[in-house]
């Protein structure tokens, strides 16, 4: 292999490779580092690497890349395991990197130079952050109903004789509703794992979308005091070959979101018959969806429309998308001509009871 071939290979490496002197100054700044941080070799050679990148650890404390610790003898023989470090690029943008360092020692055993290999771990950090956020959201969603269940159950156990039948019924109904919330959340988490594993079971039969919509609206309407919820399907609307429970889950998610994230007004569910599919739309009178978020709203953990007073896991639309696509349909969102969002999904028409 010629020197030219080796130089070309090194230039194509995506990781940023930097050689640093024992005092922490940049000696070599290879092509990957230039692409990663934005500085050319001429701009950084001779500069202190830690002053240049201003690295911080995962706790936000200043740390070092060019040296392990000031005024301490390096005791590591060869190198370090990967560390996660937050740095700054030439533009001032934050960049999470994973850093591994190896040490070259002189005849006397002292460090003569350090080679740092840095790779962009921004995507991994975003995934980790999303996981942390959903764990926090799930913990909050579970804590609230479980606290209620525990409190009301304890109250009934210790003060049963003090309540009349009407009061007991009210407390038990609250316990039942909160238990349903917990069951639904656990079901959502199980659905996510099944969708991602490609093992979502479907129990298909011919179902009436109008009948399912009626059940969903009747269940949500008493809790939507500031909204008018209606539905309309054409006469002789065809049945479809689908899993009734899964499609009811999709409609429940869409209608509940329309109620949850709009201050009031009309929420309308409509059905249309197309050439090879049926189309169901859920329309609200809220602020609509930011244009650049139209496709992201179906991503896992994405909560663009959610406000602080409307906690949630950000899983409902992600699950809805997976359920619709498992039936061979598709789901999307549009903004209304004047205001509000229109969530749409299709399901293929069936022929003689077959998909």
Residues 292-326 have pLDDT tens digits of 777 788 887 666 544 444 555 677 888 899 999 99
What span, in angstroms and rounded, lies between the C-alpha atoms of 33 and 21?
16
Nearest-10 crossing angle of helices 165-197, 122-159: 160
Q: How many domains does the chain have?
A: 3
Q: Are residues 116 and 129 in the same domain?
A: no
Residue 354 inside a domain? The answer is no
Q: In the predicted model, what is the mean pLDDT of residues 323-341?
A: 88
Report the CATH number at residue 75: 3.30.450.20
Q: Are residues 209 and 341 in the same domain?
A: yes
The encoded tokens of residue 102 equal 């190896």
User: 188 near 211, Cβ under 8 Å?
Assistant: no
pLDDT of residue 303: 62
Reply yes or no on whether the pLDDT at 253 is more than 80.
yes
**70: confidence class by pLDDT, cuts 50, 70, 90:** very low
Mean pLDDT, the chain, rounded, equals: 83
Cα 339 to Cα 49, 265, 272, 292: the distances in Å are: 52, 11, 21, 17
Alpha-helical runs (H) found in 21-92: 31-37, 41-44, 49-53
Q: Are residues 224 and 134 in the same domain?
A: no
Report the CATH number at residue 281: 3.30.565.10
pLDDT digits (tens, 9 = 90+) for 103-116: 887 777 777 888 88
User: 107 near 10, Cβ under 8 Å?
Assistant: no
Residue 94, strand partner residues = 88
Domain range for 165 is 125-197
pLDDT of residue 262: 87
Q: Are residues 265 and 343 in the same domain?
A: yes
Residue 221 inside a domain? The answer is yes
Residue 115 inside a domain? The answer is yes
Q: Are residues 38 and 95 in the same domain?
A: yes
Closest CA to 212 of 278, 310, 259: 278
Residue 237 inside a domain? The answer is yes
Residue 355 inside a domain? The answer is no
Q: Are residues 179 and 214 in the same domain?
A: no
Q: Are residues 192 and 304 in the same domain?
A: no
User: Would the CA dihedral through 177, 179, 183, 188 be positive or negative?
Assistant: positive
Q: Are residues 88 and 37 in the same domain?
A: yes
pLDDT digits (tens, 9 = 90+) for 9-42: 666 677 888 999 888 899 989 888 888 999 998 9
pLDDT of residue 325: 93
User: 26 near 37, Cβ under 8 Å?
Assistant: no
Question: What's this model's pTM, rounded to 2 decimal places?
Answer: 0.59
Q: How many other CB atoms are there within 10 angstroms of residue 231's CB atom?
A: 19
Reply yes or no on whether the pLDDT at 2 is more than 90.
no
pLDDT of residue 248: 93
pLDDT digits (tens, 9 = 90+) for 144-158: 788 888 998 999 999
Residue 181 inside a domain? The answer is yes
Q: Are residues 282 and 303 in the same domain?
A: yes
Q: Are residues 163 and 71 in the same domain?
A: no
- The residue out of 105, 120, 135 marking a domain boundary is 120
The answer for residues whose C-beta is within 8 angstroms of residue 180's C-beta and 6 or more apart is none
The encoded tokens of residue 109 equal 């055993």
User: 285 near 340, Cβ under 8 Å?
Assistant: yes
Q: In the predicted model, what is the mean pLDDT of residues 257-280?
A: 92
Q: Are residues 159 and 267 in the same domain?
A: no
Q: How many other CB atoms are there within 10 angstroms of residue 263's CB atom?
A: 9
- The residue out of 197, 217, 241 marking a domain boundary is 197
Residue 353 inside a domain? The answer is no
Percent of the chain topping pLDDT 90: 35
Q: In the predicted model, what is the mean pLDDT of residues 96-104?
A: 87
- The residue out of 90, 120, 150 marking a domain boundary is 120
Q: In the predicted model, what is the mean pLDDT of residues 177-189?
A: 81
Closest CA to 174 of 143, 148, 144: 148
Q: Are residues 211 and 325 in the same domain?
A: yes
The Cα angle at residue 115 between residues 114 and 117, in degrees rounded to 5: 140
**63: confidence class by pLDDT, cuts 50, 70, 90:** confident
Reply yes or no on whether the pLDDT at 329 is more than 50.
yes
pLDDT of residue 11: 64
């Amino acid at each position: 292999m010629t020197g030219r071939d080796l130089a070309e290979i090194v230039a194509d490496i995506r990781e940023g490779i930097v050689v640093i002197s024992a005092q922490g100054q940049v000696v070599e700044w290879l092509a990957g580092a230039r692409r990663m941080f934005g500085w050319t070799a001429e701009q950084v050679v001779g500069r202190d690497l830690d002053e240049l990148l201003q690295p911080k650890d995962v706790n936000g404390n200043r740390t070092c890349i060019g040296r392990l610790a000031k005024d301490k003898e390096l005791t590591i023989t060869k190198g370090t395991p990967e560390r996660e470090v937050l740095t700054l690029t030439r533009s001032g943008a934050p960049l999470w990197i994973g850093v591994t360092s190896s040490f070259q020692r002189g005849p006397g055993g002292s460090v003569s130079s350090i080679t740092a290999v840095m790779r962009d771990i921004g995507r991994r950090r975003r995934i980790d952050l999303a996981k942390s956020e959903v764990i926090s959201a799930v913990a909050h969603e579970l804590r609230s109903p479980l606290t209620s269940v525990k409190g009301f159950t304890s109250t009934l156990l210790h003060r049963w004789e003090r309540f009349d039948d009407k009061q007991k019924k009210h407390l038990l109904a609250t316990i039942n509703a909160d238990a349903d919330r917990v069951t639904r959340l656990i079901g959502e988490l199980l659905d996510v794992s099944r969708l991602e594993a490609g093992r979502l079971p479907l129990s298909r039969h011919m179902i009436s979308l109008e009948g399912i919509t009626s059940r969903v609206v009747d269940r949500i309407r008493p809790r939507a005091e500031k909204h008018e919820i209606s539905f309309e399907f054409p006469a002789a609307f065809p049945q479809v070959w689908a899993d009734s429970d899964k499609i009811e889950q999709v409609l429940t998610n869409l209608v509940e979101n329309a109620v949850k994230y709009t201050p009031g007004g009309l929420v309308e569910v409509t059905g249309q018959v197309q050439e090879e599919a049926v189309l169901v739309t859920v329309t609200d009178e809220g602020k609509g969806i930011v244009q650049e978020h139209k496709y992201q709203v179906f991503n896992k953990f994405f909560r663009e429309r959610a406000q602080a007073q409307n906690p949630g896991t950000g899983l409902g639309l992600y699950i809805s998308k997976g359920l619709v696509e498992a039936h061979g349909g598709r789901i999307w969102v549009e903004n209304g001509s004047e205001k509000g969002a229109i969530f749409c999904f299709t399901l293929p028409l069936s022929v003689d009871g077959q998909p």
